Structure 1
Amino acid sequence: MLSTHDANAPGALLGKPADGWIEAKNHLQGFGGFHGGLALALLASATQSHVPGLELQSITGRFDRPIESGFTVASSLIRSGRTTAAVSATARSAKGPHIEASAVYGVPGEAAWQPFAPSAPVAPPPQDCEVFAIPPEFVPISTSMEIRPVGPARPYAGGPEPELIAWVRLLEDDDPPDVLRSVFLMDALAPSYAAVLSQLVLVPTVELTVRPAAGLATASSPWILLRARTLAASAGGWIDEQLDAWGPDGTHLATAHQLRVVRAG
């Protein structure tokens, strides 16, 4: 088992309730600021205390500005009904709000309805795929993850399709993803639109929604197979991206949607 034994590693941070001040340490930075998926996962953590016994169905974060230093996490219950509840959370600093999130929770349902889930793409096991090393000076948090691409597509390689597929896992332990880790890992890859670009430009997240799937409860491997693909891209640079994650056994674990925008300058 691999372990960093670091209480400030991403998985360790998500293993304790998120509340109050969080230091944006360098090893938690993504491309241009605190990693967005980790920030949204921390906000999801903060919402849990308001809805004991309910399950996260969806969380959406709107990213107003990059987080360059620390931030305060705060949350509040919006409404609570017989079967669903809504909770809001924010990441805020002296500059104002950085991320505003809303989460929907639901009562665990009975197994009374026919389920459907997207099928996993054909992929060799992770040990048969080469490691993709991201320069830590660009994305410091990449040292906490192992990414093994499936197929020839790579970010900023000028490929024909805006799609990236890769095996992803945290390096600090061998734990399977839970709800919070899945929110974080759904933002582990470079933007899928970057697969068709040949120069390094920013494609930041404007909005991220993550919806855990029922199969997440039975996940047993630290690895997830993550597929990110651009559904639509406008000439103005607005990107509609969908992501799905599966376990090595093909169980669907989560779906995410990102609204991104290309920033050439």
Structure 2
Amino acid sequence: GKSAVVIEASVTGEAGPAARALLTYGGVRESRVMRTGEAPPVLPPPEDCTAFFAADRAPGFARHFDVRLAGGARPMTPGAEPRIAVWIRHGDGEVPAGAPALVALADAVPSAALVLFPEFAPFSTMTWSLDFTIDAPSSASGWWLLDSRIDAAGGGYAAQDMSLWNDAGHLVARARQMVAVFI
């Protein structure tokens, strides 16, 4: 069309399909419709928060990120609200720009479904959609606030809603995720 391009990409292996992505890119255009989105939750700043990943139990990829628990609960806290709110930034000290860097941040924290787990068990993302709400997201400090909440869980699945704000409090992305849980 004139205003957007839709691209599909698939990854397959010997065992069959592994992943499929549907990407839609649209350029900024003039519009009289405007809403800036919801305000971020009131949470302490990153410097007042503790590390999210325990040094002795952190997954290997966690070394690439600085993640601080700002609200909600840690995994395996049954009875707590199934929510994880973290301040997150890339761990290399630089502030990468662009969508790939934000996708990595949005996917660096485990599902809030793990809060409901009594002990560790396998889980797997089934579907994940990510919508950017502004054209050129940026964060002056490199910190981003990611808030993940489970809407419903049962029958081996959990539905999750996520929001990502920059350090100025602007909503930059929303995401939905369906997670299979094996507990």
Query: Is this a same-fold pair by TM over 0.5?
Result: yes
Question: May I ask how many residue pairs the two structures share in their alignment?
Answer: 183
SS in 2 for 1:204: strand
2:124–2:181 CA contact under 8 A, matched in 1: yes
Check 1:152–1:238 CA distance in 2 against 1; reply closer, same or farther (3 A cut): closer
Q: Which moved more, 1:246-255 or 1:105-114?
A: 105-114
Any gaps of 5 or more consecutive residues in structure 2?
Answer: none
Inter-partner Cα distance in structure 1 for 2:58 and 2:67: 15
Inter-partner Cα distance in structure 2 for 1:159 and 1:181: 33
Give runs of aligned pairs for residues 191-230 of structure 1, distance below 5 A.
Answer: 191-214=111-134, 216-230=136-150
Check 1:217–1:112 CA distance in 2 against 1; reply closer, same or farther (3 A cut): farther
RMSD: 2.0
Residue from 157, 161, 176 that aligns with 1:242? 161
2:84 aligned partner, one-letter code: L
2:145–2:164 CA contact under 8 A, matched in 1: yes
2:72–2:84 CA contact under 8 A, matched in 1: no
Aligned match of 1:84? 4
Identity across aligned pairs (percent)? 26
Shift of 1:105: 1.3
Length-normalised TM-score, structure 1: 0.64
Aligned match of 1:102? 22
SS in 1 for 2:123: coil
- Cα deviation 1:116-165 (Å, max 9, x = unaligned): 31210111110111112345766210111111001361111224211111
2:164 aligned partner, one-letter code: A
Give runs of aligned pairs for residues 98-247 of structure 1, distance below 5 A.
Answer: 98-134=18-54, 139-151=59-71, 153-214=73-134, 216-234=136-154, 236-247=155-166
The structure richer in strand per residue is 2
1:251 aligned partner, one-letter code: H
Inter-partner Cα distance in structure 2 for 1:169 and 1:218: 12
Check 1:225–1:89 CA distance in 2 against 1; reply closer, same or farther (3 A cut): same
- Cα deviation 1:211-259 (Å, max 9, x = unaligned): 112064343331111000001112x121110110111211111111101
1:156–1:199 CA contact under 8 A, matched in 2: yes
Aligned match of 2:182? 263
Length-normalised TM-score, structure 2: 0.90
Inter-partner Cα distance in structure 2 for 1:98 and 1:137: 27
